[in-house]
Structure 1
Amino acid sequence: MSMYICIQEAFSHKIAARPERRRQFEKELISSVGIASDVLTACLSLSEFKEQVLEAFASWIRLRPGIPSSTLACHPLVLNALSSLSSELLSEASVNVISELIHYTTAKSSGGLSAQMPLIQLLVPHVMRLTGHLKDPSKDEEDVKAIARLFADMGDSYVELIATVISELIHYTTAKSSGGLSAQMPLIQLLVPHVMRLTGHLKDPSKDEEDVKAIARLFADMGDSYVELIATGSAESMMIVQALIDVASHPEYDIASMTFNFWHNLQVYLTERDSYISYGNEVSIEAERSRRLQIFCSPYEALVSLVSFRVQYPEDHQNLSKEDLKDFKQTRYAVGDVLIDAASILGGEVTLKILYMKLVEAVGTCRNDEMCDWRPAEAALYCIRAISDHVSFVDTEVMPQVMDLLSKLPHQPQLLHTVCLTIGAYSKWLDAAPGGFSALPSVIDILMSGMSTSEDSAAAAALAFRHICDDCRQKLCGSLDGLFHIYHRAVSGEGGYKISAEEALYLVEALSVVITELPPDHAKKALEALCLPVVSPLQEVINQGPVAVQKIIARELTIHIDRLGNIFRYVNHPEAVADAIHRLWPIFKAIFDHRAWDMRTMEALCRACKYAVKTSGKFMGATIGVMLEEIQGLYHQHHQPCFLYLSSEVIKIFGSDPSCANYLRSLLEALFSHTTHLLTKIQDFTSRPDIADDCFLLASRCIRYCPLIFVPSPVFPSLVDCAMIGVTIQHREACTSILTFLSDVFDLGNSSRGEQFKSIRDNVVVPRGASLTRILIASLTGALPSSRLDVVTYTLLALIRAYGVKSLEWVEATITLIPLTAVTEVEKSRFLQAMSEAASGIDISAHTGPIEELSDICRRNRGVQEIVQGALRPLELNIVPVS
């Protein structure tokens, strides 16, 4: 028992041991494996301890002790475990021993499969001999149960272990080091027949469901592992493919879906050019590729038929629980992926024909009859939609018939929902195919019906309308009157459409992209018409006076502001948008003035302004000044972070424009000065992480786009101080923005453009260097979550690269603060060596181990973490060393 407990300590992480000590302990144990195995072998004679002996032996094998395969193959403990496996009294300990031996044969430390083949050849036959016991009526019920567990996929089973061994053997046969397939054919010819003998069990109704699952998993694993061999299309490999087709045909989805990964991997192997490199020239490659694709057409055609029915709604779909409905949706997604794989092999047109025939069959029993079963037609359309990306944009054979059938289907809500999504999925076909344009009127009629039928169908119809307008925009320029009619009905809420405010944005975007295709003069007029039904409700509220603007609920404003934002975003006519925002500025200003306290409204308004700035660019010069003046004044009163991100977009567009330098300088100094007064302690950062995030995003953008304005300004040192205070904020986005700003500061001198600012940067950073280093190392060692390690490491290395030898002094002074009870001198020296290499210009990206190890050491338990953080005190900008 003591030997078992001893070995278990090697794998336990409950004890707070240093990584180096844990590695040393494992080495000590491995060096004692010979003695341990001798003691355990001697104990085999004590029958009452046999179970404990085998359990202990399994744990020692888990150490991967490097015992030669030939030694293990004849070792008494191994032979005893094998004999116990096939004895009348099946023991759990013997199962554990064999399991660990199988894992041992695949471990790199044991030499890999080639070195362990004698042991593998001993283990596999012993396990396979148990198959016949499952049907032996003379076997004790408990023994049968134990053997059945070995083959159960989800239990503590030998089926999984056998599959693992076979899988590793298959990998071995295909490895270059083993000589490749031709050299390993004898082993392959031994393995495949043994597995193939289980095929009949898949359809045996007398088989227990768990056994069938285990056997199906074995075939699926074999397929995944043998995919390269199977892809050759040999007669033997097609036997495996047929077995996997049998698994895919199983009525239980959980069993059939086990093969889905194989079909995907096979598709990748058959279609990717790298699979054929060995065939040399392009002619040979294409010939072999065509040969293989031809061979696998039949299995994939069968697969399409076998899986497509699984997306059909169950009869009791209305009574499905939330969890069951979620599972059903996941099933549909998975089947859709399989159909995409099939279309990659067969081609979109062939796959479409198979699915179209299913649609025709379903439609034949479901035409304008409210009592018909709509579910088969919906399922067929779902599958047709799934493969849309693989169907030719100019298909003239099947797609026109599909589109023709859509108008004949009843307007059942779920069916209409899928019809609308299918129309949207084939919007590119509607644009490119010879008969696509003629189908547009009928499909738009269907979409209008979808908008009126149910909320789900309305959402699908709105999205499809967006896709059609996007892809057919040039063809639809002459149909603006009809499109505007649909648009007005949707945004006014008076047309009987069941479209939500969010989905109405799809129609806004749809009209916007069509207007983009118009000539500038026409686009300006169309833009005015597009804005009119959106602006009118806002103007009505403003006309009622300031009190009305202040009292109205935010949503009554943001619905319309968001629509304007999308118009400015998607109408790609810079001058027209600049003119529109100039005309609408009085409305925007009124909302700014009277709702500046309302974060939700301000975010929507600033987002709309951001899109206007982004689209209009320099054409917005007439309005940008008053806009910046507005947000500069309001930020001082209301501290809305969206004012900062709007300013960030302005900096991107106008930052390098000398004519804007004065008012940008005024804006930035006002925003940053006020922000640094808001964020004076870590608690301020924690309570307003949004302000911190947007502030330092803006600061980083200033470094990139207007360093001439930003770096020499008096707010630059204040922002560095502010960043030092807030580095340890736990909010992920705000923390990342702060660290990115600091690394941008340290990297300023890396470009020729930034060279002129090095002296200014140095005057700010060098006096703070020791504190910056201490805070960053404190962040590495526990002040921030380990998930932030990469960005903290990059920032620290940026500091090291920028200041070389001087930075090493800061690092050494910081590391000295950590007590030796937390980090030893050896561990400190490894970290310092890594920092020294970084300072000398060596690329440390491949040598971050010492940094990660220091982080792990200082986080190994709460006590150590508190000692380290107590020593480094990251929340204090300046500390006096304790003598």
Structure 2
Amino acid sequence: MAAVQAVVSALDVFSRAPDKAALERANTWLQDFQHSPDAWSTCNVLLLSSDAPPAAKLFAAQTFRTKVIYDLHEMREPDLLQLRDTLLTALGRYQTGPRTIIVQLCLAISGLALQLPAWQDPVKDMIESFGRNPATVPSLLQFLTVLPEELISNTKIPITDDEYRDRSAKLLTANAPQVLDLLSMYIQASGVTLALQAQVFNCLSSWLAAGEITAEALARTPLLAYAFEALASDDLFESAVSVVCDLIHETQEIEDNMQVIEQIVPRVIALRPRLVEYKDDPEKIRGLARVFTEAGETYRSLLLHHPDTFFPIVEAIGECSAYPDLDIVPITFHFWMRLAQSIGKRQSVSPLFMDAYKALMNVIIVHLHFPTDVTSLTGQEAENFRSFRHVMGDTLKDCCYVLGAEACLMSTYELIRAALSQGPAASWQDIEAPLFALRSMGAEIDPSDDKAVPKIMDLIPSLPVHPRVRYAALLIISRYTEWISKHPDYIPYQLQYISAGFEDSDSEVNAAAGQALKYLCQDCRRHLVDFLPQLHTFLGSMGSKLVQDDKIQVYEAIAHVISAMPMEQAAQSLRTFSLDILAQVHALAMKPTVATQDELQAVTNGLENLEVMLGVVQTFGDELPAACQNSPQEAWSFFDPFIARYGSNYQICERTTRVLRLGLTFFGSAVRPLLPAVLKRMAAAFESTGFSSYLWIAGKIIGRFGNDEDLMLRAAFAEVLERSSSKLVVLLQDKSPSTIPDVVEDYLQMLLQMIEYTPDILFPSSAFPVAFRAAMLALNLVQADIVFAALDFVRMIVTHDCLSPSSTHPPPKFPIYSAAIRPVVEKEGPELVGYLLSGLVGDFPEESTSLVVTIFRVLSALWPAQLLTWLPVVLQQLPVTSAPEQAKRQFMTDVSSAIQMTQYDKVKYAVIALHRASRKARERRRVNPMDG
């Protein structure tokens, strides 16, 4: 009774308004209770006690279900049969509900039936026990409904594939005829209630979806007719829709099911008038849309081969597509897409389908209309509508696929002309919706088209000056730039329209103009070379008026044009635009007074624009053009004093280092003479700020130039390592690694470059122990990239050839490396093993296990005695919630055996077994005890 009371008390916490800590304590206690062997008997008492609170009874049922999945191994076989009787008794006790308890008990019985071969025929026994008394039939139907679902979907039940195949065949396949007969009897039994009929349909759906009851077998029963008749009932409608859809789906093998299809299709077509009858009931329309589209998709080949018979289904789906509720319309989209694909593979198709897609295109354009009062949409509604318009745009592409892009474009173009012909009476929505459609269909156009697209392009300048209309027109330009590239005569007009877009007061129009300019310059760059001075002038006059996001688009556009120029001309043009920005950097660096926040922001924006340009141009190759010969030194002469003065501003740090990174790519080997100075500045900047980006640049330089033998450069590598390691030690005195993950990550990435390219600097350095310890501490972080970097670094150290030279004449520095590595590993070993195992049974990414395996295998081979002394203490500290005691003992045994037998590869299996046991334990604990 004490255990019963403890459960009741823990559950009582959830009924109040507890603080988070109390909630977590109660949740953890209940999880631990569910894991305990005592839970079986305690939950039995709770479930059958008339005094237990409802929450405790539900929890008891949920616990039985959980323990049936995970803990049946705790019971002997005679006890399992007793457990079965307990669950059946409880199910009989709760025949009147609550339904939540009935469901949990039925799930538990299903899981037990799958794992208990001694229970010869569970379905037959359940029918005999619960199927004769009208009061218990609902419980039987609930069991029969969840049985196929549980057997098919619950992958956590611990049985082999062979056991599953054998047992599910006996439980499901062998009993399908009996279940079908039973459901046929119940559906028409005298006195049957609507609730029971709904349960019959739900059960039938479950067995159909599982593939255990065939359409052919069902068609020989009254259930097929009853399912369609039930669509007229408010109470049975939803369950009948599911049955009908599952039945249609099960007839997808057309030739094998023609007799059944001949019964289904007339009944489906007869439902079409209901679309008018139920026009004011969206839920009914939703259900009918599901039925019609399921029939359309399943019988797609029949639609195309026998349109005279089957086309009414297409017409019904078209009516569903035209329904004004935009939550229902998408149900039909997959059908239209698949049908379009099928039509595209045929040489000829009935005109009926062409008409259907023409009607569909007009329907979609109507749906694209913004409401008359746009302010009637809330923020989320507006966002949802915008997102849905793009989905509808995909369906317009299906229309193009069937009808041809030219026909669709011309039809849509005529809609715009018709709206414009109304003059001031035209609403902007009537113009914008077809414009959006033209944008969506842009991906389907032929870049050589000389009929429809010229008309559209000629129409754009005459569109009304409304922000939504201008926005849509600019995005058409963005989408049609490949066509414009083949028709360059349109470029001046498009540039003029885009330029006007930048002057619009609407920020979304400005953004669309930026996007249009970017894509125009990207796809038409060779035609725009002569326009570059005009773009430079535009930046000079309009630049200060543009918000930064739009300015970025302009600079990206310009960079695309530069990339199309001959190299010398491109270099000179890039220099012109870059110097505009670098002049701002130089001016601030030299300014007698401290820069204002606005001035710093302006330079930050300028550096971002330069970054965008360099990102597009990337490099001219190893041989720099004449205009760039002195540029590395010139640029660094601007950056060095600027970083020295303002590098403690985080935004300045981020932007300068990103530009420097692209500068390394752009200038290539030409930067080599500058690198010692750059590294010195990066080391000093990291020392004074702790900003990780300075380490990031250092790592990039080492990765690019680490093989260089220049003594000054290698001395700079060593200086960066020592100064950054000293700074990291200082940072970790006040902060935990989890608060500075960016610093830890970039430090590790730098170390990975050093161990790869400069081991002669890394290993003998006094900073090496700091580096190793930093990698260990990083193993405690949750960011996957950092964990992988740390594991990689540790792996590269312990597997270094210097520790087990393969030849009798190792490289001369190997003894130095080995002498540096061994004492560090031996000192940090216990903590390293602790971090590795804690991560393995904790938060390490799934793909990291192979790295852990490698490290453990090497530790067991090179430090066997030490590892065997480290492990017991570490294993004892692992929480049993993620590493069960049995799994820990087995791991210790397996590793010890592998070391004693010098079969170090067997360590792999020990690590994998511990990981699997941990994953299983953690997955179980992820299930909330209150959810079952």
Taking structure 2 as the reference length, the TM-score comes to 0.75
Aligned to 2:475: 421
Aligned to 1:613: 664
Match of 1:311 among 356, 368, 392: 368
CA offset digits 1:494-552 (Å, max 9, x no partner): xxxxx31122011112222222233333333322321344334444434432x423766
Q: Tell me if structure 1 keeps the 8 A contact 2:318–2:356.
A: yes
Aligned to 1:353: 410
2:612 counterpart of 1:556:
no
Q: CA deviation at 1:437?
A: 0.9
2:218 counterpart of 1:163:
no
CA offset digits 1:717-766 (Å, max 9, x no partner): 5323211122112345544543454456567779x999989985874886
Whichever residue aligns with residue 566 of structure 1, its letter is: V
Correspondences of 1:366-385 after superposition (within 5 Å): 366=423, 369=424, 372-385=426-439
2:563 counterpart of 1:511:
no
Aligned to 1:462: 514
Larger mean CA deviation between 446-455 and 354-363 belongs to 354-363
Q: Tell me if structure 1 keeps the 8 A contact 2:290–2:331.
A: yes
Q: 1:635 to 1:380 in 2, by over 3 A?
A: same
Structure 2 stretches lacking a partner, 5+ long: 1-46, 50-56, 75-107, 152-167
CA distance in 2, matches of 1:168, 1:290: 29
Q: Tell me if structure 1 keeps the 8 A contact 2:898–2:904.
A: yes
Whichever residue aligns with residue 241 of structure 2, its letter is: V
Q: Tell me if structure 2 keeps the 8 A contact 1:542–1:548.
A: no
Match of 2:286 among 183, 191, 213: 213
Match of 1:393 among 421, 437, 447: 447
Aligned-partner SS, 1:253: coil
CA offset digits 1:425-444 (Å, max 9, x no partner): 1112111x2xx211111111
Q: Tell me if structure 2 keeps the 8 A contact 1:166–1:222.
A: yes
Correspondences of 1:841-852 after superposition (within 5 Å): 851-852=915-916
2:497 counterpart of 1:446:
yes
Q: Tell me if structure 1 keeps the 8 A contact 2:183–2:204.
A: no
Aligned to 2:525: 473
Q: Tell me if structure 1 keeps the 8 A contact 2:303–2:310.
A: yes
Match of 2:851 among 776, 785, 795: 795
Aligned-partner SS, 2:418: helix
Match of 2:544 among 492, 499, 502: 492
Larger mean CA deviation between 36-45 and 306-315 belongs to 36-45
2:277 counterpart of 1:204:
yes
Q: 1:736 to 1:489 in 2, by over 3 A?
A: farther
CA distance in 2, matches of 1:227, 1:828: 60
Supply the RMSD in Å over aligned alpha carbons: 4.4
Q: CA deviation at 1:853?
A: 3.8
Aligned-partner SS, 2:683: helix
2:865 counterpart of 1:776:
no
Larger mean CA deviation between 412-421 and 57-66 belongs to 57-66
Larger mean CA deviation between 41-50 and 692-701 belongs to 41-50
Whichever residue aligns with residue 362 of structure 1, its letter is: A
Larger mean CA deviation between 43-52 and 376-385 belongs to 43-52
Q: 1:296 to 1:544 in 2, by over 3 A?
A: same
Larger mean CA deviation between 691-700 and 578-587 belongs to 578-587
CA offset digits 1:374-400 (Å, max 9, x no partner): 222211121111122221222222111
Q: 1:44 to 1:430 in 2, by over 3 A?
A: closer
Q: 1:648 to 1:598 in 2, by over 3 A?
A: same
Q: CA deviation at 1:484?
A: 1.3
Q: 1:639 to 1:329 in 2, by over 3 A?
A: same
Q: CA deviation at 1:452?
A: 0.6
Correspondences of 1:102-501 after superposition (within 5 Å): 102-107=205-210, 112-113=211-212, 120-121=218-219, 125-126=222-223, 128-132=225-229, 144-147=233-236, 151-152=237-238, 157-170=239-252, 173=253, 181-204=254-277, 208-226=281-299, 238-267=311-340, 289-291=346-348, 297-366=354-423, 369=424, 372-431=426-485, 433=486, 436-453=487-504, 454-493=506-545, 499-501=546-548
Whichever residue aligns with residue 385 of structure 1, its letter is: R
Q: Tell me if structure 1 keeps the 8 A contact 2:282–2:325.
A: no
Whichever residue aligns with residue 177 of structure 2, its letter is: A
Aligned-partner SS, 1:254: coil
CA distance in 2, matches of 1:758, 1:355: 75
2:575 counterpart of 1:531:
no
Larger mean CA deviation between 226-235 and 207-216 belongs to 226-235
Whichever residue aligns with residue 676 of structure 2, its letter is: G
Relative contact order (alpha carbons < 8 A, sep ≥ 6): 1 or 2 greater? 2
Q: Tell me if structure 1 keeps the 8 A contact 2:201–2:240.
A: no
Q: 1:417 to 1:96 in 2, by over 3 A?
A: same
Whichever residue aligns with residue 249 of structure 2, its letter is: S
CA distance in 2, matches of 1:505, 1:560: 9
Q: Percent identity?
A: 19
CA distance in 1, matches of 2:308, 2:831: 71
Larger mean CA deviation between 803-812 and 581-590 belongs to 803-812
CA distance in 2, matches of 1:743, 1:227: 57
2:125 counterpart of 1:38:
yes
Q: 1:446 to 1:184 in 2, by over 3 A?
A: same
Q: Tell me if structure 2 keeps the 8 A contact 1:693–1:734.
A: yes
CA distance in 1, matches of 2:698, 2:615: 17
Match of 1:699 among 733, 751, 768: 751
Q: Tell me if structure 1 keeps the 8 A contact 2:744–2:774.
A: no
Aligned-partner SS, 1:658: coil
CA offset digits 1:471-512 (Å, max 9, x no partner): 11111112222121112223233xxxxx31122011112222
2:570 counterpart of 1:570:
no
Q: Tell me if structure 2 keeps the 8 A contact 1:780–1:855.
A: no
Larger mean CA deviation between 755-764 and 633-642 belongs to 755-764
CA distance in 2, matches of 1:196, 1:746: 72
Aligned to 1:73: 177
Q: CA deviation at 1:300?
A: 3.4
Task: Work out the number of aligned pairs and report it.
Answer: 799
Whichever residue aligns with residue 468 of structure 2, its letter is: Q
Q: CA deviation at 1:269?
A: 6.0
CA offset digits 1:307-333 (Å, max 9, x no partner): 122112211113421022112102211
CA distance in 2, matches of 1:45, 1:205: 39
Structure 1 stretches lacking a partner, 5+ long: 136-143, 174-180, 272-287, 494-498, 865-883
Aligned-partner SS, 1:393: coil
Q: 1:524 to 1:852 in 2, by over 3 A?
A: same
CA distance in 1, matches of 2:349, 2:888: 57
Match of 1:823 among 884, 897, 917: 884
Q: Tell me if structure 2 keeps the 8 A contact 1:509–1:567.
A: yes
CA offset digits 1:226-262 (Å, max 9, x no partner): 5576677876665543432232222332222211122
